[in-house]
Structure 1
Amino acid sequence: MDTKKLVADVQEILAANGDFSNLSDKEVYAPSIQVDRKNVYFILHEDGKKCLVACESGNTVGDFDAVATEDAGNGKTLVVAELNQKNNEAISSRFPWVKPISRHGYKYTFGLGDRLGTASNAHLRLFKGRGIFPILAQQSIRELLLTDRTELDVVQSASWAVFEEGYTTGWGADGDHVKEPYEVEYAVESGCTMITLDATKKIHNEIADLSDSELDAKFNALDPEFVTRFNNDYLDKTFKIGDNSEVHFDKKDVEQSVLIYFDAVVYATYIYHRFVVPNNLDFEISMDETIVPTTPANHYFFANELKNNNITPETIAPKFYGEFQKAIDYIGDLDRFEREYIVHESIAETFGYRLSIHSGSDKLSVYPIIGRLSKKNGWHVKTAGTNWLEALRVIAKEDPKLMQEIYKYSFDNLADVKPFYVFHAEQSNSPKPETINDSNVMSLLTDDNPRQILHTMYGNVLNYQESFKYVYRDRFFDTLNKHQDEYDDFLNRHISEHIDLLQGKAATKEEVKAKYEPKN
Structure 2
Amino acid sequence: MQLPKFSLGMGDRFAHQAKAQLQACILGAEAGADVAPVWNKSNREHLIIGSEPSGTRAAADAAVKELGWTKPYFLDADHINLKTYERFVAPCDFFTIDVADNIGQKSDDAEIAKFVARHPELIGEISIPGIDKPFSLDKAFVEKTAKQFLAAVQHAAEIYKAVVEKKGNEDFVAEISMDETDAPQTPPELLIILAAIADEKLPIQTIAPKFTGRFNKGVDYVGDVPQFAKEFREDLATIAYAIDKYGLPANLKLSVHSGSDKFSIYQSIREALKDTGAGVHVKTAGTTWLEELIGLAEAGGDALVLAKEVYAEAFAHAEELCAPYATVIDIKTANLPSPETVNGWTSEQYVRALRHDENDAQYNADLRQLLHVGFKVAAKMGTRYTDALQANEEVVARNVTTNLFDRHIKPIFIG
The amino acid across from 1:242 in the alignment is P
The amino acid across from 1:498 in the alignment is H
Larger-Rg structure? 1
* 1:449 alignment counterpart: 366
The 8 Å contact of residues 130 and 233 in structure 2, kept in 1 or not, is answered as: no
1:365-395, Cα deviation, whole Å (9 max, x unpaired): 1111112212423111111301110000022
* 2:411 alignment counterpart: 501
Q: Work out which of the residue numbers 372, 382, 386 in structure 1 matches 2:287.
A: 386
Greater relative contact order structure (CA < 8 Å, 6+ sep) = 2
Query: How far is 1:251 from its partner?
Result: 6.5
The 8 Å contact of residues 75 and 92 in structure 2, kept in 1 or not, is answered as: yes
Query: How far is 1:241 from its partner?
Result: 1.9
Question: Which whole-Å CA distance do the structure 1 matches of 2:36 and 2:47 have between them?
Answer: 23
Alignment CA distance shift 1:170-1:234 (3 Å): closer
Alignment CA distance shift 1:338-1:136 (3 Å): closer
Q: Work out which of the residue numbers 103, 112, 124 in structure 1 matches 2:22.
A: 124
Q: Work out which of the residue numbers 235, 239, 264 in structure 1 matches 2:126.
A: 239
The amino acid across from 1:203 in the alignment is I
The amino acid across from 1:268 in the alignment is A
- TM-score in terms of structure 1 length: 0.68
1:139 equivalent in alignment to 2:41: yes
Query: How far is 1:234 from its partner?
Result: 7.0
Partner secondary structure for residue 164 of structure 1: helix
Q: Work out which of the residue numbers 405, 408, 432 in structure 1 matches 2:338.
A: 432
Segments of 5+ residues of structure 2 without an aligned counterpart are 244-249, 355-362
* 2:212 alignment counterpart: 321
The 8 Å contact of residues 372 and 504 in structure 1, kept in 2 or not, is answered as: no
Query: How far is 1:113 from its partner?
Result: 2.2
The amino acid across from 2:103 in the alignment is I
The 8 Å contact of residues 120 and 136 in structure 1, kept in 2 or not, is answered as: no
Question: Which whole-Å CA distance do the structure 1 matches of 2:268 and 2:50 have between them?
Answer: 37
* 1:226 alignment counterpart: 112
1:154 equivalent in alignment to 2:56: yes
Aligned length: 379
Query: How far is 1:362 from its partner?
Result: 0.4
Segments of 5+ residues of structure 1 without an aligned counterpart are 1-101, 206-217, 465-471, 506-520
The 8 Å contact of residues 18 and 60 in structure 2, kept in 1 or not, is answered as: yes
Q: Map 1:441-480 to 2 at 5 A.
A: 441-445=350-354, 446-459=363-376, 461-464=377-380, 472-480=381-389
Bigger share in strand: 1
* 1:487 alignment counterpart: 396
Partner secondary structure for residue 285 of structure 2: coil
The 8 Å contact of residues 388 and 458 in structure 1, kept in 2 or not, is answered as: yes
The 8 Å contact of residues 110 and 134 in structure 1, kept in 2 or not, is answered as: yes
* 2:272 alignment counterpart: 373
Question: Which whole-Å CA distance do the structure 1 matches of 2:74 and 2:115 have between them?
Answer: 39
Identity over aligned residues, as a percent? 30
Q: Map 1:7-26 to 2 at 5 A.
A: none
* 2:11 alignment counterpart: 113
Query: How far is 1:255 from its partner?
Result: 4.2
Alignment CA distance shift 1:463-1:484 (3 Å): closer
Q: Work out which of the residue numbers 142, 148, 158 in structure 2 matches 1:270.
A: 158
Q: Map 1:63-142 to 2 at 5 A.
A: 102=1, 104=2, 106-128=4-26, 129=29, 130-142=32-44
Partner secondary structure for residue 241 of structure 1: coil
Query: How far is 1:478 from its partner?
Result: 2.6
- TM-score in terms of structure 2 length: 0.84
Bigger share in helix: 2
Alignment CA distance shift 1:435-1:235 (3 Å): same
1:349 equivalent in alignment to 2:240: yes
Question: Which whole-Å CA distance do the structure 1 matches of 2:110 and 2:88 have between them?
Answer: 39
1:490-518, Cα deviation, whole Å (9 max, x unpaired): 1111111111111242xxxxxxxxxxxxx
Deviates more, 1:108-117 or 1:124-133: 124-133
Partner secondary structure for residue 335 of structure 2: coil
* 1:74 alignment counterpart: none
1:376-428, Cα deviation, whole Å (9 max, x unpaired): 23111111301110000022222333222211211121111333112111423
Partner secondary structure for residue 168 of structure 1: coil
The 8 Å contact of residues 234 and 254 in structure 1, kept in 2 or not, is answered as: no
Q: Map 1:178-193 to 2 at 5 A.
A: 178-180=80-82, 183-189=84-90, 191-193=91-93
Question: Which whole-Å CA distance do the structure 1 matches of 2:93 and 2:114 have between them?
Answer: 39
Partner secondary structure for residue 282 of structure 2: strand
Query: How far is 1:298 from its partner?
Result: 2.1
Question: Which whole-Å CA distance do the structure 2 matches of 1:409 and 1:225 have between them?
Answer: 51
